[in-house]
Structure 1
């Protein structure tokens, strides 16, 4: 073959390949274009059929919502993240539903009770947790808080019996841990100290005893003459730090994978190895030995349902997050407010003393699940704390198909809102539970007495979520918090605020909410 013919053949081949490439590229482009055109037409028809109108659009999100994403991370760092949407609500004329973009993903934000009812209950199957599993899985695996569908149903069915009334009624298990907490309070000799830090240690101790069968005793330390195991101290710190990482991943939404620092994986490994120790111990017991175990242990009951070590580990860590963090946060915010309102503290003491005694007349056996529930003012104090400081102040769901929310669209906000498949719907119990139209002009004040005359709130009060995913452990948390409040009131009748935080206080968001600067108070045994 001549040199000329070879060059000609090569050029013809290149030309052919170019044409083929252009043809395939064109087909792909046409296919994608057709897909979006058809999708657009389909959604126009859907909107018209359901009478949907657009809600107001958040005007300050920037291109593709990149600025909004930056703002969320910034306010999370400064402790203002939860008050940021409350400021927006007031700034833009008390609009309860609006749409925005976050890193290119459309987000509908709502605090309409009617929408929350649809989101969490009546249209439950139209929504899922979206990317939450991917956000949380490195630490929490496949547990009740990370799964959807059948996996979630199986987890809930397995865990529900463990929160039966008989199990949460054993409040006396808390007493030995409270005696250790008392030592920490006494060592301060009436000076200001951070009780939130102690509450987080207390609840990890009570939670691990309930879940694992033995406490990690994180309240033990040299300052009170008790030795804490180094492994326990490492676990508690790693657990805290790993949750901080999960919070960052959550607010990055679809870009969560960009946040994977080596410290996150190191802390996750420490937590997993610690949990494995207890799981392996439980799995080493025979069925006969399990039946002979004294008292009630969450893990040992789960082993009767499954012997899969990964399932056991994941469920334990999921429940540990709930059992420790939510109760510690509730107690911390409760004493934060009680210390700043001496008149409320006095009323609470009066009720507790009349029901359970004080000084030398305390009868511990009288403090039970049933008697705690009869203390109305204590119940009001807890309700009011959860109203102003819900454990999960902001949450979201993702549409699994094209669907709607009942209200929020149009100029009057009464038309349905279109929610396309893949759209995130965010909602904030923190903002909702501070709305004047449900709680009055003094909605941002701590006022337990309001609960005496509040009518049925329905979906305007969601401290434990609602619908099929309503919190399984709400009575467990309320019972533990009630017992701790009663006993601390009996032991330390003198409570004074040592708080110097800004108003509103800065709040730390992990998977749940706590006080960023700590809760500084004075407590004394003398009246």
Structure 2
């Protein structure tokens, strides 16, 4: 009898719940319609997915293009096919907007910066990067930037003596008889060696130990770091399905990376405690205590060991991959055009064979044009995304021509393709897919050129990367008279968090007399 009497209450509660859902949906719909009208938004009429429910065709295309090494180029071709530089898509229940419009990217990264976060990307990256600067939002990100910014002052990034030491080690592995070798492999070893010395005051010395036993902890860490980074990408691509992936190799690699960095963090925190004790007791600091060391500067600002480790791994990721990818991609292109190498040699000849100073490096214009053009053709971070945390608007992408404002509902991922934007013929001319350093002679780029991100999150370490890449290029020009390509094929993408040549950079170098 009691059960029977309770039935009306159940129906009343169920009705109230349905009414509440309907009310909130109708209220949201009406408020959004007012928002859309107020901003004169038009719907995006270009869609990349035939499956409107799960978007499985998008997942399938992504998988195929990843295996073929054509994810970036396939996306660029979609913009041409749609005759619009903004289109929408969907994967499972996740709505997507993809754009290559400078004004849209400026809006996402700067004008409406607070309308976006990283969303679920943070979950995929967290096992390796933790809450470091590249994986943090809001106040945590602001604190990270404040913590790290002082460490990228000119006097820190201009340590050319360190670059020279490691360059000489790389030079030992370059054949001087013109025989073929992979320059890209050496660049990645060089940049992890210089980055770890800059950050930890201890280099992995992977170039020094290249032909030796690879069971030492430095070599193990260098290899594990590559595996761990690949695992992060897999987590991101699998998304909600990552729980079904074994991933044991990736987890082991991440553990090795954390344990390796933790050792240097422990030493730095102990150094700070010892230095504080000396000062407190009135003792003078030793000369070594006053020397600049990146990890020690972090330890001066915080004794949170995990925080220090997270920031170090984030900066190491950028310090190694951006510079190595820039060098590898640039040399791949230069080898195809001997005239460029000749012009670089003419410019570098003004140094008279001596190593450049920081100011001289900055004043080598043709070298700068070569790096700019490489970062245009092959931006080291070729695509990125943000997650809309509130209803917002993009200035372009709506209507048949894509020139009207576009409504972005809360919960939408907005991806932007720097690779596609950098190759737009309307922005860079009919030869936009050709490597041509001379195009930078008079160009003053705005948001259509974005090699190091933009807005509040613009890369802190861009001068470090450009200084190292420029220095290494100058020294190679000084050491070798000829540079030949030993790869007859075109550049093919190898896409992780950054992008480099899937075939490496196979070259032959002839020693200068």
TM-score clears 0.5:
yes
Superposed CA offset, 1:38-73 (max 9, x none): 222221121111111111232434233222123223
Say which of 347, 350, 373 aligns to 2:346: 350
2:82 is the counterpart of 1:98:
no
Q: TM-score scaled to structure 1, two decimals? A: 0.91
Q: 1:19 to 1:509 in 2, by over 3 A?
A: farther
In the TM superposition, residue 36 of structure 1 has moved relative to its aligned partner by 2.2
Which stretch of the first structure deviates more once superposed, 436-445 or 74-83?
A: 74-83
Deviations 1:157-178 (A, max 9, x none): 1100000011111111111111
Aligned counterparts, 1:85-124, within 5 A: 85-93=75-83, 95-124=84-113
Structure 2: stretches of 5+ with no match in the other structure? 279-284
1:259–1:395 distance in 2 versus 1, CA, 3 Å: farther
The alignment covers a number of residue pairs equal to 502
Deviation at 1:327, TM superposition (A): 0.2
Q: RMSD of the alignment, in Å?
A: 2.0
Other-structure match for 2:282: none
1:238 corresponds in structure 2 to 224
Confirm or deny: 8 A CA contact 2:265 2:309 kept in the other structure: yes
Deviations 1:213-253 (A, max 9, x none): 01011113363xx5555222221221111111211222345
1:465 correspondence with 2:453: yes
43 and 142 in structure 1: CA distance in 2 versus 1, 3 angstrom threshold = same
The partner residue of 1:42 within 31, 37, 40 is: 31
For residue 183 of structure 1, report the CA deviation from its aligned partner: 1.1
Mean Cα deviation higher: 55-64 or 284-293: 284-293
Which of 233, 242, 256 is residue 270 of structure 1 equivalent to?
256
Change (3 A) 1:328 1:90: same
1:316 aligns with 2:312: yes
TM-score by length of 2: 0.93
Q: From the superposition, tell whether residues 491 and 293 of structure 1 become closer, same or farther in structure 2 (CA, over 3 Å).
A: farther
The counterpart of 1:78, out of the listed 57, 68, 79, is 68
- 1:438/1:59 CA distance change after superposition, 3 Å: closer
The worse-fitting range, judged by mean Cα deviation, of 60-69 and 83-92 is 60-69
Give the drift of 1:370: 0.9
Does structure 1 conserve the Cα–Cα contact (< 8 Å) formed by 2:119 and 2:386?
Answer: yes
CA distance in 2, matches of 1:235, 1:478: 25
1:333–1:389 CA contact under 8 A, matched in 2:
yes
How far 1:452 moved relative to its partner?
A: 0.7
User: How far 1:259 moved relative to its partner?
Assistant: 4.6
Q: Is 1:250–2:246 an aligned residue pair?
A: no
Tell me if 1:400 matches 2:386. no
2:354 to 353, 356, 363: 363
Aligned equivalents of 1:33 and 1:91: distance in 2?
39
1:65 aligns with 2:55: yes
Q: Between Structure 1 and Structure 2, whose CA radius of gyration is higher?
A: 1
Q: Go from structure 1 to structure 2 and tell me whether the alpha carbon gap of 1:327 and 1:320 turns closer, same or farther (over 3 Å shift).
A: same
Contact map agreement 1:390 1:513 (CA 8 A) in 2: yes
Distance 2:407 2:246 in 1: 34
CA distance in 1, matches of 2:471, 2:171: 14
Distance in 2 separating the partners of 1:420 and 1:379 = 41
Whether the aligned pair in 2 keeps the contact of 1:195 and 1:518 (CA below 8 Å) is yes
| Deviations 1:370-390 (CA, angstroms, capped at 9, x unpaired) | 110100000000000000011
Alignment of 1:62-461 (within 5 A): 62-63=51-52, 64-93=54-83, 95-186=84-175, 189-221=177-209, 223=211, 226=212, 230-253=216-239, 258-259=244-245, 261-285=247-271, 286-287=274-275, 288=278, 292-293=288-289, 295-354=291-350, 356-357=351-352, 362-364=353-355, 367-454=356-443, 456-461=444-449
How far, CA to CA, are the matches of 1:524 and 1:18 in structure 2? Answer: 89
In the aligned structure 1, how far is the partner of 2:437 from the partner of 2:232?
34
SS at match of 1:207: helix
